[in-house]
Amino acid sequence: MKKTIAVLLSLSLTAAAACSFTAAADEAADLVWWGWTPGSPVNEEYIAEFNKEYPDINVIWKQVTIDDYDATLKPALANGESIDLFEVSAGSANGGVGIYGKSAIDLTDSVTEAMGEDFRDKLSEISLNTMTVDGELKALGVGAVYAGNLWINKDLFDKYDVAIPTNMEEWKQACATFEENGIIGFVQGAGQGAFNMDTFHAICDNVKPGDFQKAATGEIEWTEDTFVTALGLWKSLFDEGIMQPGALGIQQYPEANNLFLSQQAAMVMMGSWYTMNTLPGTMKANMESASSTDEPFTMIPINFPDIAGTGNTGCMFCDIDYAIAVPASAPNQEASIDFALWLGTSESGQQIIADSLNVVPVLKTASPNWDNIELVNPEAQNEAVQEYLANAIDQPENARFGNISADLNSAMMDVLAGVASDMMSIEEGLEQLAEVQGETW
């Protein structure tokens, strides 16, 4: 796949092509797109492709870190700062549509005009359901993201003759072998709560698939045996030496991500968004951002190890990774709608989304064009990556953050950090989750 690589965070790209947006004859529209993902160089590739159809719309990507996004976006929207497009997410994650959707226009009529009255049959259900607030479609999902698995540096596994871990003992042994050779076995930024929730969710699905969702939606209580076992297993990751020393003191982004991409760590808890690093150009750029001058390495996805010993492996959970909203105060609203529609609903926009391997496209007819995609190490990665994405698409409904309320989100982050650091017991932690559940349901 031919890619246009641009590494500046703010960049306008244009290309000569036919354009359906009508502005003043000698005037181009400039749009500022706020977001946290996927970041450079991928966003610039999207913009370049968009400009082949809309050369008179200049899109400027403004990247904000995950942790700073809410704190930066809220006053910007309130103060009427120039924002033409902004990213939102499902549930209580950063940029939650339930919070920021009130600042966005309803895109239902625009989507109907672009796709027809049957647009709901053409787009993924999760995209439309999670982005609809009080009957209004507040944002257009770009793609779904799946979590629940690990990514490993296969080159390091081969170099040190380490077996891919499938259970707790094998995971411990793998970490020990890497550490003997000066490499972090498994890295997690346990100071960033959202990724701790991913790990805990994966453990819960390993113990008893489906119970995490049932508790999140009030069907069962957090004090059930499933969660006693799961929270104990979460604590054991720290006690048994799987979590690296100081894990609670670093963030998943940038620290854990950088340690993995600079090959200082052999395993990391990341989801389907990490698939983009199997593309040579994207991985090279991201490795450089991690201060690594090495050549791209072979990374593959593996199932979360069966640390509960139940045989329940391969579970994944998903949400819309991000969606594009148009604020009511957008200076160039018509052009902003054009970009949101192109990225979230058009065949050309959704094809580049599919081919970038960052998220699973929401347009049901879009899928990666494997004939045009060359991975870092096709022999080792092609089958593994394609099976992984097929498994993600075929998973039954299992929300990542979509069913987590803001209060439960905060409580779970506190509980996971508190139990890991011995600041609270397992029983105290589960009682805290149950208390929040009682207030919610």
pTM: 0.85
Q: What is the pLDDT at residue 392? A: 82
Strand partners of residue 60: 32
pLDDT at 14 over 80: no
Q: What is the pLDDT at residue 185? A: 98
Residue 309: pLDDT band by 50, 70, 90 thresholds?
very high
Average pLDDT over residues 376-394: 92
| Contact criterion met (CB below 8 Å) for 436 and 411 | yes
Q: Any idea which of 63-77, 85-99, 153-167, 277-291 has the lowest mean pLDDT?
A: 85-99
The per-residue b/e assignment along 176-195, b for 16 or more CB within 10 angstroms, e otherwise, is ebbeeeebbbbbbbbbbbbb
Kindly state the percentage of the chain with pLDDT values over 90.
81
Q: Any idea which of 247-256, 383-392, 425-434 has the lowest mean pLDDT?
A: 383-392
pLDDT at 16 over 70: no
To 10 degrees, the CA torsion angle through 278, 151, 177, 169?
A: -150
For residue 200, give the nearest of 432, 417, 434, 437 by alpha carbon. Answer: 417
- Angstrom CA distances, 22 to 28, 75, 108, 275, stand at 9, 31, 21, 37
pLDDT at 3 over 60: no
For residue 385, give the nearest of 201, 166, 151 by alpha carbon. Answer: 151
Report d(CA 415, CA 184) in Å as an integer: 25
- CB-based burial label for 256 (10 Å; 0-12, 13-18, 19+): buried
Residue 9: pLDDT band by 50, 70, 90 thresholds?
very low
Q: What is the pLDDT at residue 13? A: 32
| Cα 84 to the center of its chain, rounded Å | 23
Average pLDDT over residues 152-174: 98
pLDDT at 395 over 80: no
Q: What is the pLDDT at residue 28? A: 72
| Residues belonging to the chain | 441
Under DSSP, is residue 194 helix (H, G, I), strand (E, B) or coil? Answer: helix
Q: Give the chain's domains with CATH numbers.
A: 29-145+319-372 (3.40.190.10), 149-315+394-440 (3.40.190.10)
Phi and psi at 192, nearest 5°, equal -115, 105
For residue 297, give the nearest of 319, 269, 266, 273 by alpha carbon. Answer: 266
Q: What is the pLDDT at residue 2? A: 36
Average pLDDT over residues 45-60: 97
Residue 67: pLDDT band by 50, 70, 90 thresholds?
confident
Which DSSP string corresponds to 304-370? PPBTTSS------EEEEEEEEE-BTT-TTHHHHHHHHHHHHH-HHHHHHHHHTTSSEESBTT----G
Report d(CA 187, CA 405) in Å as an integer: 27
206 sits in which H/E element: helix 193-207
| Contact criterion met (CB below 8 Å) for 317 and 400 | yes
